[in-house]
Amino acid sequence: MPRKKFYITTPIYYVNDVPHIGHAYTTIAADVLARFHRLKGEDVFFLVGTDEHGQKVESAAKAKGMAPQEYVDKVSEEFRKAWTLLNISSDVFIRTTDTKHKKVVVQLIKKCFAAGDIYKGEYEGQYCVPCESYWTPLQLVNGNCPTCNRPTQALKEESYFFRLSKYKQQLLDLYANNPGFLAPGFRSPEILSRVREELKDLSITRTSFHWGVQFPVDKKHVTYVWFDALPNYISAIGYPGKKFQKFWPADVHVVGKEINWFHSVIWPAMLMSAGLQPPKKVFAHGWLTVNGEKMSKSKGNVISPQYLVERYGVDVSRYFLLSEIPFGQDGDFSEKALVARANAELADALGNLLQRTLVLIEQKCDSKIPRPGKFSAEDEELVKASDILKVVDKHMENFEFHRAIKAIWEFVDACNKYVTLQAPWKVEEKKRVETVLYVLVESLRLLSILVYPFMPKTAESLSAQLGQKIGNHKKLVFGKTTKGAVKRGEVLFKKLEVAGKDPFSALDLRVARVLEVNDHPNADRLYVLKIDLGTEQRTLVAGLKAFVPRDQLANRLIVIVANLKPHEFRGVMSQGMLLAAEKNGKVVPLNPVGAKMGEHVLAQGVASAPVPQVSIEEFAKIVLTTATKEVMYGNKKLVTSGGAVAADVDDGAKIK
């Protein structure tokens, strides 16, 4: 009999920015499922990749002075590196700029066109550039995009449309006949409600930009990003060839809830139009916040996979993300919670269990795994506790990673309780000592298999120290014939502390443009500036009137402390502080040469993690100075995308 297949995908992540913890969360979850199904003996295909076409990408490349292909090559490689860091076991990394993918996009469009489901028209409505989505006036929230809350723009252009409305009943039948298709279940009412309402046809081409797959029906048009991106799930498995025939339909598309509509409605309809089966399941998980706040560049709380791995290690990060938050729901990432859970559950529980067992075998059995004697009632109780595969399997099938981990750690706790009660270091009867130690070795062997999907490197180290190889689920049975010698290595988990942060990392320094310079109405030495940060405008009070003429400030770029606690100066509230260099009575504003309005100013080599607010006293403790006309934090330069921040004063000037 051929092996059962399991095809799992993550979204192909958009390359308008580099990977962050949200991308990592989705990808780790999919990797855990892929590894678990491999242990079951299934033929697994696990797909990851990047979405590289569209107006956002074209605009992002232009902003950085790069050609689109050069830009997407660079950012796509960042995702590859991130998945290598996180030990992601994907089979293929698909890119929508791949030639084979573009050919499949064209094939699919032609099939939909031949089915009479693509027609020419004109689109007029509200368009969100960041989300590349059209919205009706009723869908807008306070006039903004309902997904990202950014302003939309009115757009009218010639477009080709896909007859999404034609598939309303077929979609409803799909959901009714396949109750597990929309997952988790609490997400289905929203999708069902929207589909039952008037299902509008979908605009699938653009003429306003050029970076995309040329539309085969009309070469003046570029294929819209979703009709370009979604077919990656079949192009990656060689549609329409043998691999496609083997693995399609996908067993599950794992996605974030913000793209659930596209995967649960638009994608199945496209496949129906082309005469292909829809996927078996779309699982839309929730969003992550960081310390209770939504991730945002402007807040400086975006966490990268590299930061996680460097600070806490790969397996600790993987374990925490899936044990802390019920997958499917929104959840919060906290470094304090990570450290607490890692120390208690990983270092103290699992790590200490292995360490105690190995030391005892070294002392009592000359490092050789002993042969067991007759099992006592206490031994049999632990053997019974090890029989948890069915429980774990059920939780994994339901994407309940936190419950699967809880079940495994109940067995870990049972092992620790067993070794404490049996106290083999006190027992004089040799065969009883050997039996207890064998039971512990066998329990740890089973644990190496159970934890492998979540923490593969840990599982490999654990099994190697036991002198064993990691088995599959067929080996997940408590036996009496395990042999070999143990070889104690490094501890599985070192105790962690919450990463200490460089004081500079708390600052939110940003580039702003001065729009207006006015005299302060109640203070002779102060200016009142109106500044633009790109996303917002603010008022600043600056004590520069005696040093910098008004015309030298107007319309120039400056550097401000954007998260300084607002302060009232003689009746005018200042929302931040302009930074200037001073020496020997000369005062000059910092010059972010070549920078872009709104971007962050960083210190080379210092991770940026701004807090919501810093006080003037906290800022005063951070010493900034100048050297060779550049602004320095210790021996680190302050930089933007344009290079080092400059200050036209002598060395050793103070920044204030």
Residue 378: partners with Cβ closer than 8 Å, 6 or more residues away: 418, 421, 422
**261, 265, 237, 264: which is closest to 249 by C-alpha?**
237
Summarised one tens digit per residue, pLDDT across range 164-199 is 999 999 999 999 999 999 999 999 999 999 999 879
Any idea which fold 503-655 has?
OB fold (Dihydrolipoamide Acetyltransferase, E2P) (2.40.50)
Determine the distance from the C-alpha atom of residue 219 to the mean position of all C-alpha atoms in its chain, rounded to a whole number. Answer: 36
What's the sign of the alpha-carbon dihedral 577, 582, 585, 588?
Answer: negative
Summarised one tens digit per residue, pLDDT across range 102-124 is 999 999 999 999 999 999 998 77
The tally of CA atoms less than 13 A away on the side-chain side of residue 113 is 15
554-571: b (≥16 Cβ within 10 Å) or e: eeebbbbbbbbbeeebee
**CATH, domain 334-475, list 2.60.40.420, 1.10.730.10, 2.30.30.100, 3.40.50.1000:** 1.10.730.10
First-residue to last-residue Cα distance in the chain:
74
Mean pLDDT, 10 residues at a time, the chain of 656 residues: 92 88 96 98 98 88 87 93 96 97 97 97 80 72 82 87 97 97 96 92 90 94 92 98 98 96 97 98 93 68 83 95 94 91 96 97 96 96 96 98 98 97 94 97 98 98 96 95 95 83 86 93 92 90 91 92 91 93 92 89 78 88 91 88 87 90
Write down the domain spans for the chain. Answer: 334-475, 503-655
Angle at 441 between CA 36 and CA 481, to 5 degrees: 90
The DSSP element (H or E) to which 42 belongs, if any, is none
pLDDT of residue 300: 58
Q: Record the tokens describing residue 566, joined without a space.
A: 């607002």
Q: Record the tokens describing residue 599, joined without a space.
A: 């971007």
Supply the pTM of this predicted model. Answer: 0.77
